[in-house]
Structure 1
Amino acid sequence: MIAKILQIIGGITILSAVAAGGVLVAAPGMVPTVTDSPNDSAEIRIVDNQWGEVTEESIEVQSEAQITNPATTFQSEVSADISMNGYQMVSTTTSEETIEQGTSTATIESQISREDIPEWWVSHIENGEESEMKVELSGDFSKGDLNVSPSTEQNRRFQTDIRESIRMQLKGFEGDKAGYLITVNNTNAEWGTVNQQQTEIILKVPVRNNHPTEEIPVTDFSGSLRLNEILLLDWESEQNSYIIQPGETQTIEIRAYIDNQDIDDWLATHIKNGESSDYEIELSLSIGPLGDKSSLAVCSGRLNTTLLSENIPGPTRDGCELQRPEIVDSFDTGSFELRENPVIKLRDEKIISGEDIDSGGVLPNDGDNLPNGGDNLPGSEEEGDESSDENTPGPNESPDAIANADQLSGTAPLTVTLDAGESSDPDGAIEEYRWSVEGPTPDGRSEEVTRQFQTAGEYNIELSVVDDDGAEDTDTLTVTVEAADNPPEAVAEASPTSGEAPLNVDFDASGSNDPDGDIAEYVWRFDDLSSPERGEDVSHEFDDPGRYDVQLRVVDQRGNEDTDTVTITVNAPDNPPEAVAEASPTSGKVPLEVDFDASESSDPDDDVARYRWEFDDGRGPRFGEEATRTFTDPGTYDVELTVTDEQDNTDTDTVEIEVESNEPPNAVAEANPSSGEAPLDVTFDASRSSDPDGEIERYTWQIEGATPGGQGETIERTFRTRGEYEATLIVVDDNGARDRTSVTVDVEGRFQANQETVDLDPTLELTEASFQNRSTMSSAQIPRSPLQRDDSIVRWGSSEMLSLPSASRVKQLAGDS
């Protein structure tokens, strides 16, 4: 029911059959742009929609969308809005995803809240069980600073046919019932008023009393409607009784009510069953002679819809199980009494008792009770008196006139064939037939004539027959012509048919007509969720812009109806929007990042469509209510905001951004002390650094070698090995500008072996053996460097130890001193 819903909903879901969602073209490294050409373009289309899980709170719709992207990678969001008769059921946006080149699919799950179903139902009934489902799909595709938003919409109408299901089953009750005591014909069901709490349905059952002399009371008319075993309708007549006169028809009318809170329970079972509902309608009548609440029939069938399911739509009927209780011998209710043997009067005033009527209501061919002893009637074996003396002439016997008609009642124009073929003459032949027809219908002079009655009324017809001796006999019959059951013709007119909201329109149904001249009701439905109005002339105000198909329904006295539609176009007032551009901050030094906000902009019609920002910096625009831009060059920038509404009315506002230049800081690095023997503790100081137009926010030290650097205006470090070390200072000011400088630290060292100092005293008598014999030295502790020469001291590899000179070299050095 709620129909090809969808694709859509809730995560999105995009109802049934949403067409291509807009087209994008993109070359590698470029931003996609909209195009009408399908070649080399990116597009979105709906592949499939199906129902998901049905819970106590919601009904899920699953939508599969295909995205074709032949050119470039971009970021994407997809938004979906689904409405029914203008009432929004779902609005959702997917999370942003990266769409790679090629073709990909995505499944979107959305939830229809069951709490929203009764409100939609009101509009559905007011539109004659018809809903227009509108699905709007839009994409937000972006790359860099630019974006584009293709969109599409799809409209679909669908029907539920619950009223037609009821009408179809009421038709199953028609015909002769209860031993032909009553006849039910022309049953009908139609919707009445509907509000947020309940839905009214009006049931009409015309009942004819077939008894020729007795009244029949109908003391109750009750019944029920179940869909998938959900009881939607349960009714009982409010009247104490209907008294139906002999041979007359009276329409029993019931106003039953559906609790709208039960609709979502039924719809949930309907969707679980694949958009199919089994229904059962039971009808009971309390008829005087039949006993209390005699069930006439129980009918069943199935109702299918095609929202997201491939069904054959509409109601079907499985059949009715008819109940025909026996007629009781007597029944007494107040003044009413059905006698055991009711008496039927014949036209010749002879009497036949009820006992002589067979079970089918047919009079017997009994000569004791029929005119002329039953002679010459069908079934009589004698055509005359065979015992009479053929040679003895007697007095002339009169002929017997019998007038018959192929039908004695009907609606105009009614064609009736009058037949005198059963007339007879006992002792001769009939020479002449004369038909006298009341009213403008011409008379006739043959055994069989055909006449057509154009207008309603009762027509007395007399047949006269004359035999060959001039004797005459007459017979009469009455033809009852009812007004033709012709449907009315609805003609809806409106003035004006278009204009700006709010629009007041006068509606006129005076051009409608009915061939029988008996229009009973005019009902106007305005397609805007308002209640229907009744009357030949009505006025209605449309508050919101849109296209409204206003339906006129005309009903005649017999329940026949016709509809006509007039379209009203309500335009939004041509009020331009008001643009308000705000920025924070509005001034500062390069590089300056500024946030822009258009949320204070407004539109009298509340239909802002687009926001566009132009930044006056030689780069492209940005779109959206909010935007951010970083200005890297000094200068004054007039940033312009353009706001556009749905009618393409625009307004602009400008905000000025002042961007100042920034002088870099001056880095000054000092080391104290800057030289000394290892281990050497050094304090690095940047306190003399400065910034001419701001403040220094960060100090970073980078030190050569294994000594770590650090952060801060001053740091302390210890150097444990000899060498020259360069320390670099980097300072950054409050606008991101930076400067750097360096300072050098000279660390001097002494020879060490296993942490023992070897003093090269020139007065010391050293021999190579003396070094080798030291208890703390060994060849492993003081290995001979492969780079050592007799006349030099060379640093040994990557070791922090120094190689020793040979003993002879030490002596030489001492002697030289």
Structure 2
Amino acid sequence: MALNRIVSALTAGKLRIAVVGLLVVAAAVGGAFALGVVGVPSVAAVNNSFGDVTNETTVVETDLVVSNPNPIGVGLDGVSIDYTVSMNDVEMASGGREGVSVASGNSSIAFETDLENDAIPPWWTSHVENDERTTVAIDATVTSDLLGRSANLTRTRQVETDLIGAFTSDETRPVNADAPLVDDPVLYVNETRGRWGTVSEEETPIEMEFDAYNPNLEPYVVSEIGYDVTMNGVEMGSGSTDEEYVIPSYGSETVELSAALRNERLDEWWVTHLNESVNGHQVSDLRIEFYAVVELPSGEELTVPLDALTYEETVETDIFDEGLDRGEGSDTGDSTDAEGSDDGENTSDGGSTSADDNTTDDGDSGDDSGDDGGLLPLAADR
């Protein structure tokens, strides 16, 4: 009996020592967090790619690297991640993870977010209204439930396009009727001009002008000019003028035409844009075809395809590129994001900004050593 009491006492003593030891460790770790000795996990890098695309949604696959500056991962199981992609303040995709366990050093966390394709028309409207410029923003936040604090990484990039710039041309192009007893060319188009009109929720108009010259002895009447617009074969719009133009003999007249793109078809175009991928670049072929109804001096009307005026533009995008610049930044606590500039390196109390992709890091500590998911400008090949 005496021996049993001794064993029991020793066992109880060991348990008390173990409990006290755990409490001391917990207090030390908690105190270190409270004093800022142990850092808050931060976002080190974000890599994106497109996954499956349907008529309704586009999957954005994200590989987010979380940097834990602490020597151990104890007590960091309560980590949550929030992630948002927006274009001109139009939220395109958002999501995140909760209850993430972060080990010491860098941890790669994969997750998916859905981009709703019906967000494409409002983004497109903002893009055209902003002179074909888009600010793409990626915002990632890591929150530690244990500390009640978070670290934020915001990256922005300017995206520019020039879809109709090449339509403006002073190239002289003949218009041939290719009809019996008609001398070709019936007209010349000496100059074309194009610009975006006033965008609405329903349509995006392209305001066009043609300077037409009549090289013949008799005046010609152009009673109608029609158009068909496609992008990757998707019918974006069609229509015709409702005004009659008289082109005098050896004279010129400016013909005006408004070609409207139907915004409701943009999400369908978006699917083809992602699916038509070449070497990792998404590709779109914009095509505008024209025809004219010309009334001859005899009174006969001819529908003339304006093949010489057919406008084609290939647009390539590399929206989520990998392997962009890798610069180091600093995290400075729960400060407000500061927007950077593309014309140089700018470091302030709010974080660090790289020249290429306006980066702001907010958090306690960590390395900004990854790329920004590569939102590269849209490039138009003419």
What amino acid maps onto 2:260 in structure 1? Y
Aligned twin of 2:152: 151
Deviations 1:476-521 (A, max 9, x none): xxxxxxxxxxxxxxxxxxxxxxxxxxxxxxxxxxxxxxxxxxxxxx
Q: How does 1:537-616 map to 2 (within 5 A)?
A: none
Residues 235 and 254 of structure 1 are in contact (CA less than 8 Å); yes or no, is this contact kept in structure 2? no
Report deviation, 1:223: 1.9
Paired residues for 1:268-347 under 5 Å: 268-274=271-277, 275-289=282-296, 292-297=302-307, 298-309=310-321
Task: Select the residue among 208, 213, 219 that pairs with 1:215.
Answer: 219
Q: How far is the alpha carbon of 1:52 from its aligned partner?
A: 0.9
- Is 1:113 the counterpart of 2:116 in the alignment? yes
Amino acid at match of 2:223: T
2:199 maps to amino acid: V
How many angstroms does 1:28 deviate by? 8.0
- Counterpart of 1:271 in 2: which secondary structure? helix
| Residues 158, 307 of structure 1: 8 Å contact kept | no
CA-CA distance at 1:210 after TM superposition: 1.9
Alignment of 1:359-758 (within 5 A): none
CA distance in 2, matches of 1:85, 1:47: 20
Determine the structure 2 residue equivalent to 1:138: 141
Please give the per-residue CA displacement for 1:348-399, whole angstroms capped at 9, x wherever unaligned. Answer: xxxxxxxxxxxxxxxxxxxxxxxxxxxxxxxxxxxxxxxxxxxxxxxxxxxx
**Equivalent of residue 261 in structure 1, options 247, 261, 264:** 264
Residue 115 of structure 1 deviates from its aligned partner by: 2.0
Q: Once the 2 structures are TM-superposed, how far is the Cα of residue 51 of structure 1 from its aligned partner?
A: 0.8
**Structure 1 equivalent of residue 198 of structure 2:** 193
Contact 2:95 2:112 in 1 (8 A): no
Deviation at 1:121, TM superposition (A): 2.1
Specify the alignment match of 2:12 in structure 1. Answer: none
3-state SS, counterpart of residue 161 of structure 1: coil
- Is contact 2:33–2:39 with CA below 8 Å preserved after alignment? no
Contact 1:276 1:304 in 2 (8 A): yes
Q: What does 1:25-36 correspond to in 2, within 5 Å?
A: 29-30=29-30, 32=33
Structure with the higher fraction of residues in helix conformation: 2
1:42 Cα offset (Å): 4.5
Output the TM-score relative to the length of structure 1: 0.32
For the 8 Å contact 2:228–2:237, the answer to whether it is kept is yes
Q: Which runs of 5+ in 1 are unaligned?
A: 1-26, 311-545, 548-817
Asked if the contact 1:70/1:101 (under 8 Å) is kept, the reply is yes
**Paired residue secondary structure (2:201):** coil
Distance 1:268 1:303 in 2: 15
Judged with a 3 Å threshold, the aligned counterparts in structure 2 of structure 1 residues 99 and 276 are, in CA distance, closer, same or farther, namely same
Matches within 5 A, 1:768-783: none
Provide Cα deviations, 1:309-330, integer angstroms capped at 9, x if missing partner: 58xxxxxxxxxxxxxxxxxxxx
CA separation in 2, counterparts of 1:230 and 1:28?
64
Report the equivalent of 2:6: none
Is contact 1:32-1:148 (8 Å) kept? no
Aligned mate of 2:173, from 168, 172, 175? 175
8 Å contact from structure 2 (residues 59, 112) kept in 1: yes
**In structure 1, distance between residues paired with 2:224 and 2:171:** 16
Distance in 1, Cα, partners of 2:220 & 2:136 = 50
Once residues 198 and 116 of structure 1 are traced to their aligned partners in structure 2, the CA distance between those partners, rounded to angstroms, is 15
Identity across matched positions, percent: 22
Partner of 1:234: 238
Is 1:243 matched with 2:241?
no
Secondary structure in 2 matching 1:194: coil
Larger radius of gyration: 1
- Mapped to 1, the partners of 2:134 and 2:255 lie a distance apart of 31
CA deviations 1:751-806 (Å, max 9, x no partner) are xxxxxxxxxxxxxxxxxxxxxxxxxxxxxxxxxxxxxxxxxxxxxxxxxxxxxxxx
CA–CA separation in structure 2 for the residues paired with 1:33 and 1:137: 24
Q: Is contact 1:189–1:204 with CA below 8 Å preserved after alignment?
A: yes
TM-superposed CA distance for 1:110, in Å, is 0.6
Do 1:81 and 1:88's aligned partners in 2 also have CA atoms closer than 8 Å? yes
* 8 Å CA contact 1:32, 1:147 repeated in 2: no
RMSD across aligned C-alpha pairs, in angstroms? 3.0
1:82 and 2:80 correspond: no
Q: Say whether 1:224 aligns with 2:228.
A: yes
Is contact 2:81–2:142 with CA below 8 Å preserved after alignment? Answer: yes
What is the letter of the counterpart of residue 294 of structure 1?
Answer: V
Is the 8 Å Cα contact of residues 32 and 142 (structure 1) preserved in structure 2? no
Do the aligned partners of residues 181 and 309 (structure 1) sit closer, same or farther apart at CA in structure 2, a change above 3 Å counting? Answer: farther
Q: 1:59: which partner in 2?
A: 58
SS at match of 2:306: strand
**Cα offset, 1:104, TM superposition:** 1.8
Q: Displacement, 1:65?
A: 1.2
Give the structure 2 partner of residue 666 of structure 1.
none
TM-score, normalization by structure 2: 0.65
Provide the C-alpha distance between the structure 1 equivalents of 2:115 and 2:240, rounded to a whole number of angstroms: 35
Deviations 1:651-696 (A, max 9, x none): xxxxxxxxxxxxxxxxxxxxxxxxxxxxxxxxxxxxxxxxxxxxxx
Structure 1 pair 103/207, CA: closer, same or farther in 2 (3 Å)?
A: same
Tell me, what secondary structure is at the counterpart of 1:100? coil
| Structure 2 CA distance for aligned equivalents of residues 140 and 40 of structure 1 | 12
More RCO (CA 8 Å, sep 6+): 2
Letter of the 1:285 partner, please give it: A
Residues 28 and 221 of structure 1, relative CA distance in 2, 3 Å threshold: farther
Q: Distance in 2 between matches of 1:97 and 1:156?
A: 28
Deviation at 1:152, TM superposition (A): 2.4
Distance in 1 of aligned mates of 2:264 and 2:257 = 22
Distance 2:125 2:285 in 1: 23
CA 1:33–1:116 in 2, change beyond 3 Å: closer, same or farther?
A: farther
